[in-house]
Amino acid sequence: MALVEISNVHKSFGEVEVLRGIDLTVEKGEIVTIIGRSGSGKSTLLRCINGLEQINGGEIKVAGELVHSRSTDLRKLREHVGIVFQQFNLFPHMTVERNITLAPVLTGKIAQGDAARELARKVLAQVGLEEKIDAYPGQLSGGQQQRVAIARCLAMSPYLMLFDEVTSALDPELVGEVLKVMEDLATQGMTMILVTHEMNFARNVASKLVFMHAGMVHEEGRPADLFANPATPELANFISSVR
């Protein structure tokens, strides 16, 4: 059974149909990169996988559980499905440690105190920021803040991580440090779905490339194959425009 199963998913905002029958599966350990022009539905799809948006038709299963069923505890689901956005969404009045440990403490995964601090140290080490444990977000660069946001997700021990254009709000010189963290997670076996414009990452790190166009999965396959031989003019034009 695939970790994520998306079947004939439709999503509209008013009269505008944003997702028009999406079918996609993600196996455990896969790195799936979603590319496409703005307005193609990429970010909306990620938000639907995490239950942040309701769908109008079809179904999404994560680890065999129907995301949009009334019986599904979305708060519980989100403990295992982390999402990182363009904006870091850190609490400015809390230290890095508190930002990271707030959710694990509130959900009862870990007790406040030494155990929580040790957890913060552990996940900060994964993103190369252990020395920033007592800093406040305002004392960090944008790249460092985004790495803390990733560490905050890791603190919940997710089995799936979703990344929505996590480098697009960063200055160019800071992009590399965030991509390095994501590459490291990939080598450790984390299942990831990423919406990104970073074509080198999509080409060299992803195990599956998904090209969305007009609210549909237009092409999908191995990155090397799709970059070398796009089957449609839409993908060929997109690749040539972002190289």
User: For every one of its 243 residues, what pLDDT tens digit does the chain have, with 9 covering 90 and above?
Assistant: 899 999 999 999 999 999 999 999 999 999 999 999 998 999 999 999 999 999 999 999 999 999 999 999 988 888 899 999 988 889 999 999 999 999 999 988 889 899 999 999 999 999 999 999 999 999 999 999 999 999 999 999 999 999 999 998 888 888 999 999 999 999 999 999 999 989 999 999 999 999 999 999 999 999 999 999 999 999 999 999 886
CATH architecture of 4-242: 3-Layer(aba) Sandwich (3.40)
- Interatomic CA distance for residues 165 and 216, integer angstroms: 19
The pLDDT, as a whole number, for residue 243 is 67
pLDDT at 86: 87
53 and 27 Cβ atoms separated by less than 8 Å: no
Q: What is the pTM of this model?
A: 0.93
What is residue 174's predicted lDDT score, i.e. its pLDDT?
A: 87
Predicted confidence at residue 4, as pLDDT, reads 97
What phi and psi values does residue 218 have, to the nearest 5 degrees?
A: -85, -40
Residue-level pLDDT at 15 = 93
Could you state, in order of their start, the residue ranges of all structural domains in the chain?
4-242
Residues contacting residue 141 through CB under 8 Å, at least 6 positions apart: 174
H or E element in which residue 138 lies: none
pLDDT reported for residue 130:
94
Angle between helix 142-154 and helix 96-106 axes, rounded to 10 deg: 20
What is residue 232's DSSP assignment?
S
Tokens of 18: 């944003």
Q: How far apart are CA 235 and CA 212, in angstroms?
A: 9
The DSSP element (H or E) to which 182 belongs, if any, is helix 172-187
User: Can you tell me the distance from the alpha carbon of 45 to that of 30, in angstroms, rounded to the nearest whole number?
Assistant: 17
